[in-house]
Structure 1
Amino acid sequence: MNFAVIKTGGKQYKVAANDVLKIEKLEAEAGDIVTFDQVLMVGTGADVTVGAPLVEGALVAAELVETKKQRTVIIFKKNRRHNYRRRNGHRQLLTTVRITEILTGGAQPSKTAPARKAAAKAETTDTVTAAPAEKPAKKTETKAKADAPAAEGFKDDVKLIGGVGPALEKKLAGLGITSLRQIAEFDADEIARVDAELNFKGRIEREEWVAQAKDLIAGKPPRAKADQDKK
């Protein structure tokens, strides 16, 4: 086949073997073989086959060369006599491909992705599968700490922490945090997670929630009450 018309990324392209073109970003890596099954037309010289809307059994194969951002396009808006000016830039991600084959009759590409790609993917899969093995140990350790004995008459109520009321108690419960024991076992990752979810902006560390929870579990009075007694 001398040429084909393909559709990808909402646009149509007329291509031939060894053509290099830039198209909308594809989820693939450099060296991969990508195929386009939306073939609208194929032809050899004057012999042209037009699809309705696609040519049945036609396929265009290409090798992905690279995906990168293009040059910056400046968008500038201005309204006269309104002191309105806005300047923005945009860099579009485009994928460069080299057409390798134009196939018809249900034929498949003769060229496949390099073996190194398959090996890399297999290695990644093994790593991801093996990683979660360490998680149960961390959960067991946390549970063991949470089972530490508390002072006599200890009341496990998150509202005893300074500044925590019914509304905030409900938000914490939505994140699965319902006890002082859980707060006492917060690590840096958990503090960051709760801080981000509730937009606290460092409140947990600033108000020493972990230290307050540990003090309450040990039988000390709430800090708000202690401050009142001092006054």
Structure 2
Amino acid sequence: MKYAIVEISGKQFWIETGKYYDLNRIPVELGKKILLTRILLLNNNDELLVGKPYISNVTIKGKILKHLRSHKSIVYKMRPKKKTRKKQGHRQELTRVLIEDININ
């Protein structure tokens, strides 16, 4: 099984080929290709490569499928005994990326 652990927008993701992932909004048009280069770890059929901090000779190709918004999360702030309340909703902007290939140069 071939997989990689990649750093994208401050988070770490376990990436496999043929699957899609929802990442923070990437300002790229639909259908365009992106290249991920911040690979922390690569497992290529039980051959383990660990970066210090990144692996330089590995690239991951992905394709932008769509832009979407996550489910609404409620942010509620209240100060007790002061009669102040603030209820606010938040929906994170996301981009769905299909991982096409993991290349080792």
Give the TM interval when normalised to the shorter protein.
over 0.9
Tell me the residue number matched to 2:15: 15
Q: Percent identity?
A: 22
Tell me the residue number matched to 1:59: 59
**Code of the aligned partner of 1:76:** Y
CA distance in structure 2 between the aligned counterparts of 1:32 and 1:77, rounded to whole angstroms: 40
Could you tell me which runs of 5 or more consecutive residues in structure 1 were left unpaired when the two chains were aligned. Answer: 106-231
Deviations 1:171-216 (A, max 9, x none): xxxxxxxxxxxxxxxxxxxxxxxxxxxxxxxxxxxxxxxxxxxxxx
Shift of 1:91: 1.2
Tell me the residue number matched to 1:211: none
Larger Rg: 1
Higher helix share: 1
TM-score by length of 1: 0.44
TM-score by length of 2: 0.93
Higher relative CO (Cα under 8 Å, sequence separation at least 6) belongs to: 2
Tell me the residue number matched to 2:81: 81
Q: Which runs of 4+ in 1 moved over 4 A?
A: none
Aligned length: 105
Tell me the residue number matched to 1:31: 31
Q: Is the 8 A contact 2:37 2:56 kept in 1?
A: no
Higher strand share: 2
**Code of the aligned partner of 1:69:** R
CA RMSD of aligned residues (A): 1.2
User: Aligned ranges for residues 30-179 of structure 1 at < 5 Å?
Assistant: 30-105=30-105
Shift of 1:45: 2.9
Q: Is the 8 A contact 2:74 2:88 kept in 1?
A: yes
CA distance in structure 2 between the aligned counterparts of 1:95 and 1:12, rounded to whole angstroms: 16
Shift of 1:83: 0.3
**Code of the aligned partner of 1:22:** D
CA distance in structure 1 between the aligned counterparts of 2:69 and 2:13, rounded to whole angstroms: 20
CA distance in structure 2 between the aligned counterparts of 1:59 and 1:44, rounded to whole angstroms: 13
